[in-house]
Amino acid sequence: MIRINATERIHNDRRDWHNLRGMLPFLWEFRGRALFALACLVLAKLASVGVPLVLKDIIDAFEGGQTEPARQALALPVGLLMAYGALKLSGSLFNELRDVVFARVRFRAMRRLSTRVLAHLHRLSLRYHLERQSGAISRDLERGTRSVSTILNYMVFSVIPVFVEFTLVAVVLLAKYELVFTLVTFGTVLVYVAFTFAITEWRMDYRRRMNVLDSQANSQAFDSLLNYETVKYFGNERMELERYDNTLTEWEDVAVKSQSSMSLLNFGQGSIIAVGVTAIMFFAAQGVVAGRMSIGDLVLVNAFMLQLFIPLGFLGIVYRQIKYALADMDLVFKLLEREPEIQDAPGAPALILRQGRLRFDGVSFHYQPERPILRDVDFRIEPGEKVAVVGHSGAGKSTLARLLFRSYEVNAGRILIDDQDIRDVTQQSLRGAIGIVPQDTVLFNDSIYYNLAYGRPDASREEVERAAELAHIRAFVESLPDGWDTVVGERGLKLSGGEKQRVAIARAILKRPRIMLFDEATSSLDSKTEQAIQQTLAEVAEDHTTLVIAHRLSTVVDAQRILVMESGRIIEQGEHRRLLADGGVYAAMWELQQREREQVPSAS
């Protein structure tokens, strides 16, 4: 069983107060509405407390009417009955008015927090997104943003109303009756609250474990569906189901313990209420027998007790739900407190593009200190020049692209664009200057047109169609039954690798950046399509500073310079013919790839 020690509990309590304070900015926008809703709440409770008082007078009037003239006995209760009805109606009216007024506050807070979380996730650096579990974070964020509405709802509709009603009832009991009634009533309330809080804190251990297992199970299911084809390839459906079911089995055991402890809590609460009501009725009955109290007083005290304990019965549930919501909300606020690894320098200006000259100046980089990826990489790309970087897998080629985009920060050296260190300019302006065709193109689950236009959302339809034509995908799109409105599926799974790559090329063309980056841009294309697009890429790169990262050497023979990387270093550089003539690593790679191409027809 999960246990949380005293230090952890104190820390959790501090986090709860910290998170509650964090909600205040979301309320400040509608502070007028919030105050008006609180005023309606107080008026509703005044009406609620007034109902038993009028009921007492009605009963006393009927009791006294037995010895008074019939006319007077009839006139007085009618007036009180009208007052009784008016108070009941007022209570209902102010409660509903409170709900209507406060609805905008609750839902706007949810909207603001959800938007803020998504914006923060986009600000977090690549390292975080490579390490996160999409399914788990999706479930955590769903619960976390919903928790804001839950807390506001319970605070305004449950906790504060009960507090206001307790205060009003205490004033009436102290003013009209013996001290024993106040002591019994609020003594019972204190015991009830203390018992509820103690048992609920114990039960929270189960709830936290349930949340962890729930997120874990959701992540496993999400991951399994994302890798649907891989599961099918290896016939591992049973293994995936067993892994998912094992986690749910743990969740089931904890959930059963949670439900059993809830039954204990409910029975304890019911026992405390029963003892308290019995005691208060005993003292009230004694007062009636002794003549110190009327029948109306007995009904009033009983009504107050029931009126207090009905919401108090829900208060136990409310407290649990608030604690659960605070635990859920803590996940969101911890995420919001996480600092992005890559941040703009204070007051950083936008990148000023003049010619688009690119320079890697003595760049070294590692993900872990014991495993260097780049070692003193130094090269320059002049405006309009096309430079290719080649090498075996793991040589550090794609890391160059990630550093250029500032997905990671260099550990040594610097990267310059027009003599400006990219660490000194805003990330937004830097990425706006670079167009990329990545090796693994991921598309939105939307139409082909949406994915094409993503490169420049304000582009006209003619510009989007022209970019598709340059990327040799327009004819394919227009041949589809739904044409440009064809939905590509999650991550673009309805398209082939080559089709997705051509969409990526089209939107890079549409973006019209000064610097172009092709990271294995034709790796998923067949030879015929590759040859068609190679000419397009050459045209696109003509007036751009172009960095091509490639494994297939046939795609870079037209580059002005080719850099050969090995173990994070540039070991050769020059144009294609010169490197072949040198007979070094590049020449060996070329010969190997030529032999592989020659063997493909015979192998088939």
pLDDT-based confidence at residue 315 (cuts at 50, 70, 90): low
3-class DSSP string for 428-444: HHHHHCEEEECCCCCCC
Euclidean distance between the first and final Cα of the chain, in Å?
60
Please give the share of the chain, as a percent, with pLDDT higher than 90.
10
Q: In this predicted model, what pLDDT tens digit does every residue of 105-114 receive, in sequence order?
A: 778 877 888 7
- Highest mean pLDDT of the ranges 31-45, 290-304, 383-397: 383-397
Q: In this predicted model, what pLDDT tens digit does every residue of 473-504 receive, in sequence order?
A: 888 888 988 888 888 887 777 888 778 888 88
- For the chain, which residues make up each domain, given as ranges? 17-337, 358-433+513-603, 443-503
- Minimum mean pLDDT among 146-155, 276-285, 408-417, 432-441: which range? 146-155
Which pair of structure tokens corresponds to residue 7?
Answer: 């230090």
**Predicted local distance difference test score (pLDDT) of residue 443:** 85
Q: In this predicted model, what pLDDT tens digit does every residue of 21-51 receive, in sequence order?
A: 767 776 677 777 778 877 887 888 788 777 7
**Predicted local distance difference test score (pLDDT) of residue 604:** 39
Q: In this predicted model, what pLDDT tens digit does every residue of 213-260 receive, in sequence order?
A: 888 888 888 888 878 878 887 788 888 899 899 999 998 888 888 888
**Predicted local distance difference test score (pLDDT) of residue 526:** 65
| Over residues 75-80, mean pLDDT | 62
**Predicted local distance difference test score (pLDDT) of residue 33:** 78
pLDDT-based confidence at residue 523 (cuts at 50, 70, 90): low
- DSSP-derived 3-state class of residue 293: coil
**Predicted local distance difference test score (pLDDT) of residue 527:** 67
| Over residues 309-331, mean pLDDT | 73
Strands 386-391 and 371-381: unpaired
Cβ distance 321 to 153 under 8 Å? no
3-class DSSP string for 575-593: CHHHHHHHCCHHHHHHHHH
Superfamily of domain 358-433+513-603 in the CATH hierarchy: P-loop containing nucleotide triphosphate hydrolases (3.40.50.300)
Superfamily of domain 17-337 in the CATH hierarchy: ABC transporter type 1, transmembrane domain (1.20.1560.10)
Q: In this predicted model, what pLDDT tens digit does every residue of 275-294 receive, in sequence order?
A: 888 888 888 888 888 878 77
**Predicted local distance difference test score (pLDDT) of residue 1:** 39
pLDDT-based confidence at residue 74 (cuts at 50, 70, 90): very low
What average pLDDT is seen over the chain? Answer: 80
The dihedral over CA atoms of 413, 419, 424, 430, expressed in degrees to the nearest 10, equals -100
- Minimum mean pLDDT among 6-20, 503-517, 518-532: which range? 6-20
Q: Which residues contact 139 (CB under 8 A, 6 or more apart)?
A: 214, 215, 218, 219
- Minimum mean pLDDT among 172-176, 349-353, 458-462: which range? 172-176
Q: At residue 305, does pLDDT exceed 80?
A: no
How far lies 124's CA from each of 118, 224, 351, 491, in Å?
10, 25, 21, 21
**Predicted local distance difference test score (pLDDT) of residue 561:** 92
Please give the share of the chain, as a percent, with pLDDT higher than 70.
86
**Predicted local distance difference test score (pLDDT) of residue 603:** 41
**φ, ψ (nearest 5 deg) of residue 392:** -70, 165
Q: At residue 69, does pLDDT exceed 60?
A: no
- Minimum mean pLDDT among 12-26, 107-121, 219-233, 504-518: which range? 12-26
In this predicted model, which residue has the larger pLDDT, 310 or 266? 266
Q: At residue 420, does pLDDT exceed 90?
A: yes
Q: In this predicted model, what pLDDT tens digit does every residue of 144-160 receive, in sequence order?
A: 777 777 777 777 767 77
Beta strands across the sheet bearing 569-574: 434-437, 515-519, 545-550, 386-391, 561-566, 569-574
How many DSSP H helices and E strands does the chain contain? 19, 10
- Minimum mean pLDDT among 291-300, 407-416, 518-527, 548-557: which range? 518-527
Q: At residue 585, does pLDDT exceed 80?
A: yes
Measured in whole angstroms, the distance separating CA 450 from the mean position of its chain's CA atoms is: 24
- Minimum mean pLDDT among 2-16, 81-95, 184-198, 461-475: which range? 2-16
Q: At residue 432, does pLDDT exceed 60?
A: yes
Q: At residue 298, does pLDDT exceed 70?
A: yes
Q: In this predicted model, what pLDDT tens digit does every residue of 340-358 receive, in sequence order?
A: 888 888 889 999 988 889 9
**Predicted local distance difference test score (pLDDT) of residue 259:** 83
